[in-house]
Structure 1
Amino acid sequence: MPLYSFEGKSPVVHPEAWIAPTATLVGDVVVEKDVSIWYGVVVRADLGRIVIREGANIQDNSVLHVGGGNVCEVGPNVTVGHQCLVHDCTIGESALIGNGAIVLDGAVIGARTLVAAGATVTPGSQIPGESVALGSPAKKIVPLEGTAKLFVDHNAAVYHDLARRHAASVELVE
């Protein structure tokens, strides 16, 4: 796993986090216990700090970046799905950012919120907790229930287990 210092600031990764060997972390990044960062992810904190809280998972080919000396925070047990862009925002505890979603500067995603696959949360948006945000831009907000609630309830645990399996068995094949 490539970890890069930038202007004297280096990533700090908890020893019980799992970082895929092809993920890249740059600069002022903090990765807490039981986090998993998957293949092809880029976490670039060259213009501010990125904090990924305990139990969160950042899935394949997602990009996290921060600007303007700010702090981008991914809350505990958050799932950031495949190929997401998370830029200079705050994501609340146990939220799920669906595959291909975009969350932009200054947005705040409430706890246990689902940002639907392909949705775009525009700069400065506030998405309330226990809801589903749909659309591009994400203007339709509905209560969290049914299948969406099940995904929010269980996704972090599924990825926590899967990360342990990868940590125990992934090997480079030449």
Structure 2
Amino acid sequence: GRLVLQAGANVQDTCVMHGFPGTDTVIEHDGHIGHGAVLHGCRIGRNALVGMNAVIMDNATIGESAIVAASSFVKAGMEVPPRVLVAGVPAKVMRALSAQEIQWKSEGTQTYKDLAVRSLNTMREVPALAEVEPGRKRLEISAEVKPLIERKQAQAKAAGD
């Protein structure tokens, strides 16, 4: 089948996208697929996130701005509503997502898009390093980009002060 990635789709390393002949596997605009996920003949909605190592089976649909937790298994034909968290084996709807969680997802996807543009604009061939350089400069990105758990911990700490 066809693999369709719409504008802004982000597919991480070691993902597998596949489908039966005559079917489409689709990632809509700003869909984000985590490392090692498997998509088989399914549709990932606009701004949705599929977590690392999750599996989405045939004819499943992940709704707009929904999140599939890491290592979850979405059964064939499941329709995940928009703006919810699903998790488990098999995946079940756990709860609605907060505006903060959806914003975090959108910001994460934008960071990956920005990194891709930056890489394409600055990439150049260099000789291979024989060994790691002491004090080698690291990639600089916004300090605001951090795991959601760290944001929540910082907010809880600030609320307790």
**1:152 has 2:98 as partner:** no
Q: 2:17 is paired with a residue of what secondary structure?
A: strand
Whole-angstrom distance in 1 between the partners of 2:19 and 2:125? 32
Equivalent of 1:169 in 120, 123, 133: 123
**Judging changes above 3 Å, is the alpha-carbon distance between structure 1 residues 62 and 170 closer, same or farther for their aligned structure 2 residues?**
farther
Q: Which amino acid aligns with 2:48?
A: A
Judge conservation of contact 1:114–1:148 (CA < 8 Å) in 2. no
Q: 1:72 is paired with a residue of what secondary structure?
A: strand
Q: CA offset at residue 68 of structure 1?
A: 3.2
Q: How does 1:123-138 map to 2 (within 5 A)?
A: 123-138=76-91
Q: How does 1:44-123 map to 2 (within 5 A)?
A: 48-123=1-76
Judge conservation of contact 1:113–1:152 (CA < 8 Å) in 2. no
Between structures 1 and 2, the one with greater helix share? 2
Q: 2:110 is paired with a residue of what secondary structure?
A: helix
- In the superposition, the TM-score normalised over structure 1's length comes to 0.68
**Judging changes above 3 Å, is the alpha-carbon distance between structure 1 residues 147 and 119 closer, same or farther for their aligned structure 2 residues?**
farther
Q: CA offset at residue 120 of structure 1?
A: 0.9
| RMSD across aligned positions (CA) | 1.7
How many residue pairs get matched? 127
**Judging changes above 3 Å, is the alpha-carbon distance between structure 1 residues 173 and 142 closer, same or farther for their aligned structure 2 residues?**
farther
Deviates more, 1:124-133 or 1:61-70: 61-70
Deviates more, 1:84-93 or 1:157-166: 157-166
Q: Which consecutive residues of structure 2, in runs of 5 or more, have no partner in the other structure?
A: 129-161
Point out 4+ residue stretches in structure 1 off by more than 3 angstroms.
Answer: 170-174
Q: Which amino acid aligns with 1:58?
A: V
Q: CA offset at residue 149 of structure 1?
A: 2.4
Between structures 1 and 2, the one with greater strand share? 1
Deviations 1:17-48 (Å, cap 9, x if unpaired)?
xxxxxxxxxxxxxxxxxxxxxxxxxxxxxxx1
Judge conservation of contact 2:84–2:93 (CA < 8 Å) in 1. no
- In the superposition, the TM-score normalised over structure 2's length comes to 0.73
